[in-house]
């Protein structure tokens, strides 16, 4: 208990010093006062609703019939497009510059997307009347120690508060470090990630899951996580990311 309080106090002091030395300024236009001003936020284009694999238009972001058999999750919801420089800067500043306030901004955009799509599919609520469970994509413990936090977990926590859905950040665990994935092809990523994740919780008994991450490119990481969750008994699984 005392140790937890010390950590919390240290974190608060760190944030205060960062705010003092580096006051917030919009990452889009430089206007002081916030990391994303209202005008620049309005300029962010929402992501297209399409098949995450072949980009064929699909109204709810689900995999098209031709691509669906190769994936363990049903589709992907993305708040924005990573090709937009401002969206990419928001995500990079959260992950690599430790501006954790951006998790709240990105989660706002993600929550808008989730509510829009979930309200017009057969996904929510599920057959048992339970809300979906938010599960962040885990980092390998070594990577998380180096970074100091898991950005997907931060996003899931913010989404929990905005959507009133539960989270589980403890039981999907990464047991293998696959190294840098960004420059690998989809096939190479899949090979690299095989066996990287395990579920260390109770059976999921049909629970619908939303896998949360910051960025999805090929969908390989989400698919590996979804395969593990399906083996644990999960029902419907979707991905929810800040950008794709």
- What pLDDT was estimated at residue 23? 85
47-243 carries CATH number 1.10.10: no
- What pLDDT was estimated at residue 182? 59
- What pLDDT was estimated at residue 127? 47
pLDDT tens-digit profile, the chain (244 residues):
454 455 445 555 555 565 555 689 999 999 999 999 999 999 999 999 999 999 999 988 999 999 999 999 999 999 999 999 999 999 999 999 999 999 999 999 999 988 877 776 655 544 456 789 999 999 999 999 999 999 999 999 999 999 999 999 999 999 988 766 656 666 776 777 888 999 999 999 999 999 999 999 999 999 999 999 999 999 999 999 999 9
Between the alpha carbon of residue 136 and those of residues 31, 54, 220, the distances in Å are: 32, 25, 15
Other residues' Cβ atoms within 10 Å of the Cβ of residue 76: 27
User: Which residues, 6+ apart, have CB-to-CB distance to 113 below 8 Å?
Assistant: 46, 47, 77, 78, 79, 240
Q: Indicate the domain borders of the chain.
A: 1-43, 47-243
- What pLDDT was estimated at residue 181? 61
Contact of 151 with 94, CB cutoff 8 Å = yes
Other residues' Cβ atoms within 10 Å of the Cβ of residue 40: 18
- What pLDDT was estimated at residue 178? 72
Place of tokens 């599920």: 126
CA torsion sign, 224 to 225 to 231 to 235?
negative
């Amino acid at each position: 208990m005392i140790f937890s309080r010390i950590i919390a106090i240290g974190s608060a002091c760190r944030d205060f010093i960062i705010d003092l030395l580096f006051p917030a300024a919009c990452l889009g236009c430089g206007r002081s006062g916030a990391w994303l001003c209202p005008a620049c936020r309005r300029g962010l284009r929402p992501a297209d609703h399409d098949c995450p694999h072949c980009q064929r238009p699909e109204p709810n972001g689900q995999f098209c019939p031709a691509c669906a058999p190769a994936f363990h999750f049903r589709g992907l919801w993305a708040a924005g497009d990573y090709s937009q420089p401002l969206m990419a800067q928001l995500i990079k500043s959260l992950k690599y510059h430790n501006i954790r306030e951006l998790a709240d901004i990105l989660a706002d955009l993600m929550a808008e997307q989730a509510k829009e799509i979930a309200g017009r599919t057969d996904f929510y609520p599920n057959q048992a009347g339970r809300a979906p469970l938010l599960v962040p994509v885990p980092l390998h413990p070594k990577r998380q120690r180096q970074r100091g936090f898991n950005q997907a977990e931060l996003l899931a926590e913010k989404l929990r508060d905005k959507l009133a859905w539960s989270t589980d950040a403890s039981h999907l665990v990464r047991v293998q470090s696959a190294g840098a994935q960004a420059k690998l092809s989809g096939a190479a990523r899949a090979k690299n990630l095989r066996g990287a994740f395990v579920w260390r919780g109770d059976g999921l008994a049909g629970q619908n899951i939303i896998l949360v991450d910051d960025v999805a490119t090929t969908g390989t990481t989400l698919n590996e996580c979804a395969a593990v969750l399906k083996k644990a008994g999960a029902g419907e699984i979707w991905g929810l990311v800040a950008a794709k």
